[in-house]
Amino acid sequence: MIQSIDRAAKVLNLLQGARHLGISDLAAAMELPPSTVHGIVKALQAHKLVAQERIGNRYVLGPALVKLSSVYLDTLDVRARAIRWMHDLSRETGFASRLGVELFGDVLVIHHDGRPDGSEQMPETGASIPSHASAIGKVLLAFNSEHADDVFANPLRELTGYTITDAQELADDFMSVRKNLIAYENEEAVIGESSIAAPVCDSTGDVVAAVAIVIPSNETPVDEATLTRLIETARNISRDLGTPSWPPTPN
Amino acid sequence: MIQSIDRAAKVLNLLQGARHLGISDLAAAMELPPSTVHGIVKALQAHKLVAQERIGNRYVLGPALVKLSSVYLDTLDVRARAIRWMHDLSRETGFASRLGVELFGDVLVIHHDGRPDGSEQMPETGASIPSHASAIGKVLLAFNSEHADDVFANPLRELTGYTITDAQELADDFMSVRKNLIAYENEEAVIGESSIAAPVCDSTGDVVAAVAIVIPSNETPVDEATLTRLIETARNISRDLGTPSWPPTPN
DNA sequence: AATTGCATTCGACAATGTCGAATGAACCCC
DNA sequence: GGGGTTCATTCGACATTGTCGAATGCAATT
């Protein structure tokens, strides 16, 4: 592992968590001399991966990340295929839909299609949610034991009073996810919001993503037709990607 | 400048341009031995800034960029303030709106509010457009001579038959932008699409962004009220940011 | 089965990044 | 308004670290 690149990435991660940091904040957090951190930050700044605040001398993440991220999203086959099916899903069910993948134990939302009712929509793409508190996460974990082990390695953080923090309870949940191809989450991450997710497979047959619909809690439970429609959407995306087997097998 | 970080950033840029590249492609492009590039790529991969394709052994940009980008966007004061005003603008005028900043001589779109007619919307946030062929770019250049010099240093690339490729003609255009606080662009970047932009200032009084409305060419020209509404939006955002002076002064 | 075109591993060398001390700038408090 | 404090920033010597070339391994293609 190249030391300075590793340190540069750590700088980006720290800025991701803290938004605005000075050189000495970073130096303290990384336990390095300020001059060393300064060199790293200046190298990142030259590529606009970080930027200096206009007033004050703290540093923030830079605009180049937006372009990189946008190109990443465009290269993702799953996303390209999912967009059409998700739009149909949202239009027909009336619920917002999300597509998520795993990132360092959390769920990263890589596409979002809003409710068709024209309400003001916050862009949710890029948001990340702890896996154990999201329907998408439960699907990804239930079908990938490697990711699941990572999550079980640490205590499950409580986000709301309904978050599942007991490992055994979560593991039991996975059994039914594998059996029914559906994961539920009821106000486990955000009060007032529930979600339901289904697995998406790529051409290797592995579960690489999950689609979900997001439901205001006062509209739960949803009818059987909506559930069928969600699984259908997941299967359509998977088929587009050339999955060799459906339903998917746990890995 | 730290060499290995510089090289790592170059790797990200190459992947941004080419989507999928193998180690030897990267090595050739950077004129470095493959083993050197391999080390760099593996360091980036450990942080998921790049990822390896599931089939084949080429590399692509990684998911961590999405989260970083999303945090960057959230930290941007301009964007946070602009979102509400832009939504109102789009709803009242019926046109899609964009917010853009400068990035390496191009315009980077940092927010997009779709047409209110419910048509399927491609997310445009993250897109980048050559400054000289966009209304947003013309605003940013007209009010920032440093950026303008950068752009004039290279020949102006022709994107459509209507792109302004003559430096003098573009400079003349800037005069009226500074005077009227409005820049126009008619099919200069994309056939069938025109746009109109106005400057946004921050608390230092500098023009740091521009808002635009995007107009299908068959709906041009737009009426006077729409233009006024656009400038008003720009002023409202600027006022929210605490600009000390309006109209802005060229820098 | 042999060959080609890759990615990947390894170890020696020296170029490179690192660190500590010195400088400079900005801010705050008295 | 001046002295003090807290930062970011610059600089140069040192040795740690990244770099490179050669060797290996893997897989696809013929």
Find out whether the peptide bond into B221 is cis, omega within 30 degrees of 0.
yes
Give the residue among A192, A174, A193 at the shortest CA–CA distance from A183: A174
Q: Which residue has the higher pLDDT, B165 or B122?
A: B165
Q: Give CA angle at A97 (A93, A98), nearest 5°.
A: 165
Rounded distance, CA A45 to CA A65, Å?
11
User: Is the pLDDT confidence value at A122 over 80?
Assistant: no
Which nucleotide shows the minimum CA-to-C1' distance to residue B36? D19
DSSP B222: P
Token pair 């003609």 is found at B169
Domain A3-66 has CATH 3.30.70.260: no
Two structure tokens written together for B80: 């946070």
Maximum CA extent, chain A: 61
Find out whether the peptide bond into B248 is cis, omega within 30 degrees of 0.
no
Token pair 């001059």 is found at A35
Residue B154: pLDDT band (50, 70, 90) is: very high
Burial B2-31 (b: 16+ CB within 10 A, else e): bebbebbbbbbbbbbeeeebbbebbbebee
Give the mean pLDDT of B170-193.
96
Would you state the pLDDT for residue B220? 84
Give the mean pLDDT of A96-117.
93
Two structure tokens written together for A71: 């190109």
Give the mean pLDDT of B46-73.
96
Strand ranges for B46-192 from DSSP E: 50-52, 59-61, 96-103, 106-113, 128-130, 183-186
Rounded distance, CA A220 to CA A224, Å?
12
CB–CB of A68 and B65 under 8 A? Answer: yes
Token pair 């979900």 is found at A212
Would you state the pLDDT for residue B119? 65
Token pair 């948001």 is found at A127
User: Is the pLDDT confidence value at A117 over 80?
Assistant: no
What integer best gives the mean pLDDT of chain A?
94
User: Is the pLDDT confidence value at A4 over 90?
Assistant: yes
Give the residue among A238, A222, A190 at the shortest CA–CA distance from A94: A222
From chain A residues 229-248, the ones with a CB under 8 A of any chain B CB are none
Least confident range from A13-27, A221-235, B106-120, B130-144: namely: B106-120
Would you state the pLDDT for residue B172? 94
Would you state the pLDDT for residue B190? 95
Alpha-carbon gap: B157 to the closest alpha carbon of chain A (Å) = 20
Would you state the pLDDT for residue B208? 95
Would you state the pLDDT for residue B118? 63
Model confidence pLDDT, tens digit, residues B182-230: 999 999 999 999 999 999 999 888 999 999 999 999 998 899 999 999 9
Model confidence pLDDT, tens digit, residues B25-35: 999 999 999 99
Would you state the pLDDT for residue A120? 62
Least confident range from A31-35, A203-207, B196-200: namely: A203-207
Would you state the pLDDT for residue A119? 65
B3-66 shares its CATH topology with B76-240: no
What integer best gives the mean pLDDT of chain B?
94
Rounded distance, CA B66 to CA B62, Å?
8
CB–CB of B9 and A49 under 8 A? Answer: yes
Give the mean pLDDT of A141-167.
95
CB–CB of A60 and B40 under 8 A? Answer: no
Q: DSSP 3-state assignment of A8?
A: helix
What percent of chain A is predicted at pLDDT more than 70?
A: 98
Q: CATH second-level architecture of A76-240?
A: 2-Layer Sandwich (3.30)
- Chain A within 8 Å of B24 (Cβ-Cβ)? no
Two structure tokens written together for A177: 């996810």
Domain boundaries defined on chain B: 3-66, 76-240
What is the CB-side half-sphere exposure of residue A19 using CA atoms within 13 A? 5
Read off the amino acid at residue B245.
S
